[in-house]
Amino acid sequence: MSINRRSFFKFLSLTGITLAVGKESVAQSDKGQEVDFLSILYDSTHCVGCQSCEFACAEAHGLPEPVGAPEAGKIRKLDETNRSVINCYNTSKGEIYVKQQCMHCNEPACSSACLTNAMHKTKEGPVIWRGNKCMGCRYCMVSCPFDIPKFEFHSANPKIQKCNMCFDRLEERKIPACVENCPAEALVFGTRRELIKEARKRIVENPDTYVDQIYGEDEAGGTGILYLSSVPFNELGFRTNLQKTSYPELSKGFLYSVPTIFVLWPALLLGIHEATKNNHVKEDENE
Amino acid sequence: MSNTTYAIAKDNDGKNILKFLLGELKPKGKIFTPFNIISIPIMLLGLVLIVIRFWKGIGSITNLTQDVPWGLWIGFDVVTGVAFAGGAYVITFMVYILNMKKYHSIVRITVLNGFLAYVFYAGALLLDLGRPWNVVNPIIGNSFGTSSVLFLVAWHFLLYMIAQLIEFSPAIAEWLGARRAHKILSGMTLAAVIFGITLSTLHQSGLGAMYLMAKEKIHPLWYSEFIPVMFFVSSIFAGLSLVIFEGSISNKVFSDQISDKNHKAHHGIVISFAKVCAVTMFAYFFLQLLVFVHGQHWDLLNTTMGYWYLTEMLGFVLFPMLLFFYSYRINNILLVKIAAIITMLGIIINRLNVTIIGFRWDAATHYYPSWMEIVVTLAVIFTEIWIFRWIINRMPVLRESPTWAKNQK
Ligand code: SF4
Ligand code: SF4
């Protein structure tokens, strides 16, 4: 099921549809020294709001055609029928389009929440949902800091809908549908490290165009989707109050204490039981 | 009725057991009691709604939204219900671990109550699952999500139910007159109790830990890294308050089953529970205060949510705590009961504040449970009470054990 990492990276560098992937990073990931994930860079200064990505996404995943168009002051929300949406915001630099979809976190809250491991961070990077495991508890929705997973509340066989970075297409060695269909080159597909490098380069070369931040570099412990913008991200409806460390970190302390309690408690309880045993003899005598 | 039990106990062959069980299935007592008249239509309506839910999807009868994916069924049925079921581990701790024999007469009813609560709340969980057929995955090891708090909680529910069943099983053995089984099962009680308390500690706090990742979604006055500790500590007095409340009802309803001795002892038990409640509530209040000061949310107090927070802390924690102290001092059982009821309301408010009211308090559309969600919840509670009553009328729960069982010990 999983895609052959090495050949996929080769494929990436051969096709040249996206960034050329340097030999270096291929060699590195082969040795497994540091993990690198497949990622997408979205440059909002390029986006023209044509919705090509939305339509391509719907078609690739058998979802109904998107309704409505981006309009300043009106938020179109992600829901169980669309995994990717373009919105328009009134900002200090005029109207700006922004794409929204799953962020493919490096350490996703959704997958650490999932008790069946149906939400799964693939080793290639995309976070995918597996219907044969999911029991529909919706704990992933409660936990995701970006509010991404959506649930089909009106189905007897409900699915969780969210972007999977076209994992099935990746396995066929095709790039994600949205990236492929973007006419404005607002979307770039590559490995995370390469894309961060590219994003930095753009910021350095055009300091007047971009704010000096790559959204997704540190947010929620780092995400697989990276954003560039010409205005501060809070003007574009981004959550800017998210912590920089990963969300699963928040429940780790509790989970780590479990084995300890499992060992200590019974011993302690048995100890108290033995110690108080004689008390009850006394009490019984009193009765 | 007890005569039949003894007859069976003497003559233990298969046919008679079958006849006996069939006989026990028949309803006892009057059919048209006010409780039955209210509960039966609600249970039937609930059943219809459940059918619709499985046929048309969860959204057909609930008001859940993509922003608030967990509503009344999780926030009230599971999270609040389990807190109330905490009485079982507290009482077994006092009786079997601290060897406080004076509480022995209420162990069985509390454990039974706890067991049924878990069975039905786990049942409510199934109703809320979109794809319940996959519920076996995390159980049979097909798919372990070991980093998930929910995984831990689900497993603990399951194991704890087994532990409670073992704790309760001697009563079933006495009912069936199974002497050998009774002996074996009674011998397992202490182990089950120790296991059960450990599991309870972990899943009572685990229910709180489930919300740790929803850091920005829960109102800052209710979110802190200490939610697990708060949930655990408050489950102690939540459980005891329910025991006090439930005890005062079953003492009336089932008064014919309770021996004079236990009737009299009940007063003393309730009063000493008041003390335990007061002390744990004091600790809880103090913890909440520390967390509040630590969180530095003074500015938030002067908002609607802030007033609501103060109402909860002062009106439903501090006030009943003082009332418990006072009623203990003046030995007034009525005041204890009133304090218990206020405490229970406070627990409901607290759990709903974390899970529903304070969850995405900033969302554009708020979640309110639909009337159908409420009916299903009531149906679940009523069914539980029906079974509870059925068992109490048959097994030695409130009633004294048969003599043979006593002698065996
Ligand atoms: S954005 Fe949400 S759904 Fe997507 S990977 Fe991160 S936690 Fe999971
Ligand atoms: S709804 Fe499915 S994918 Fe989401 S946490 Fe539950 S089991 Fe996992």
Sheet holding A187-191, edge to edge: A187-191, A38-43, A225-228
Which of B70, B99, B210 to mutate: most A Cβ within 10 Å? B99
The rounded percent of chain A whose pLDDT value lies above 90 is: 77
Provide the pLDDT for residue B14: 55
The winner for highest mean pLDDT among A17-21, A182-186, B125-129 is: A182-186
Residues with Cβ within 8 Å of residue B252, at least 6 apart in sequence = none
Query: Is B63 touching A (CB cutoff 8 A)?
Result: no
Q: How far is B17 from chain A (nearest CA, A)?
A: 36
Domain with B98 in it: what CATH number? 1.20.1630.10
Q: Inter-chain contact B137–A279, Cβ cutoff 8 Å?
A: no
pLDDT grade for A8, boundaries at 50, 70 and 90: low
Res. A15: pLDDT tops 50 = no
Provide the pLDDT for residue A34: 59
Distances (CA, A) of B299 to B220, B293, B302, B316: 11, 12, 6, 22
CATH 2.60.40.1260, applies to A34-246: no
Contact criterion met (CB below 8 Å) for A188 and A228 = no
Characterize A242-259 residue by residue with b for buried, 16 or more Cβ atoms within 10 angstroms of its Cβ, and e for exposed: beeebbbbbbeebbeebe
Q: Which residue of B has its CA nearest to A241?
A: B216
Calculate mean pLDDT across residues A81-98.
94
Provide the pLDDT for residue B7: 43
- pLDDT mean values, one per 10 residues, chain B (409 residues): 44 64 74 86 94 93 93 93 94 93 90 92 86 85 80 91 94 90 91 94 94 94 94 96 91 83 85 94 96 91 94 96 95 94 97 94 87 95 92 88 76
Instruction: Summarize pLDDT for A48-89 with one digit per residue, the tens.
Output: 999 999 999 999 999 999 999 999 989 999 999 999 999 999
Residue with tokens 């809908």: A161
N-term to C-term CA, chain B: 24
The winner for highest mean pLDDT among A90-94, A283-287, B18-22 is: A90-94
Specify if B30 maps to a domain.
no
Domain segments of chain A as ranges = 34-246
Closest ligand (CA of A164): 1
Res. A25: pLDDT tops 60 = no
Provide the pLDDT for residue A16: 40
The whole model's pTM is what? 0.88
The count of domains in chain B is 1
Contact criterion met (CB below 8 Å) for A97 and A87 = yes
How far apart CA B191 and CA B189 sit, in angstroms, is 6
Contacts of B144 in chain A (CB under 8 A): 117
Q: Which residue of B has its CA nearest to A117?
A: B145
Contacts of B213 in chain A (CB under 8 A): 109, 112-113, 142-143, 145, 247-248, 250-251
Q: Which residue of A has its CA nearest to B96?
A: A273
Q: Given the DSSP bridges, would you call strands A38-43 and A225-228 parallel, antiparallel or unpaired?
A: parallel
Contact criterion met (CB below 8 Å) for A124 and A2 = yes
What B281-289 contacts at long range (C-beta under 8 Å, 24+ apart), as own/partner pairs, is B281/B237, B281/B317, B281/B320, B281/B321, B281/B324, B281/B343, B282/B321, B283/B233, B284/B230, B284/B233, B284/B234, B284/B237, B284/B317, B285/B313, B285/B317, B285/B318, B285/B321, B287/B226, B287/B229, B287/B230, B287/B233, B288/B230, B288/B313, B288/B317
Between A262 and A284, name the one with better pLDDT. A262
Contact criterion met (CB below 8 Å) for B167 and B193 = yes
Closest ligand (CA of A142): 2
Residues with Cβ within 8 Å of residue B161, at least 6 apart in sequence = B115, B118, B119, B122
Q: Which of A120, A128, A134, A164 to mutate to test the pocket of ligand 2 (most atoms within 8 A of CB)?
A: A134
Res. A21: pLDDT tops 70 = no
N-term to C-term CA, chain A: 71
How far apart CA B323 and CA B244 sit, in angstroms, is 14
Helix (H) or strand (E) holding A180: helix A177-181
Within 6 Å (CB) of ligand 1, which residues are found?
A 102-105, 108-110, 127, 144, 146, 148-149, 162
How far apart CA A148 and CA B355 sit, in angstroms, is 19
Specify if B195 maps to a domain.
yes
Provide the pLDDT for residue B227: 95
A96: Cα within 13 Å, side-chain hemisphere? 25
In whole angstroms, what separates CA A165 from the centre of its chain? 10
Helix (H) or strand (E) holding B270: helix B260-295
Distances (CA, A) of A179 to A12, A183, B23: 13, 9, 71
Res. A182: pLDDT tops 60 = yes
DSSP state of B119: H
Query: Is B152 touching A (CB cutoff 8 A)?
Result: yes
Specify if B162 maps to a domain.
yes
Calculate mean pLDDT across residues A144-152.
96
Provide the pLDDT for residue A202: 96
pLDDT grade for A283, boundaries at 50, 70 and 90: very low
Res. A30: pLDDT tops 80 = no
Per the structure, the complete domain to which residue B314 belongs is given by 46-399
pLDDT grade for A38, boundaries at 50, 70 and 90: very high
Provide the pLDDT for residue A279: 64
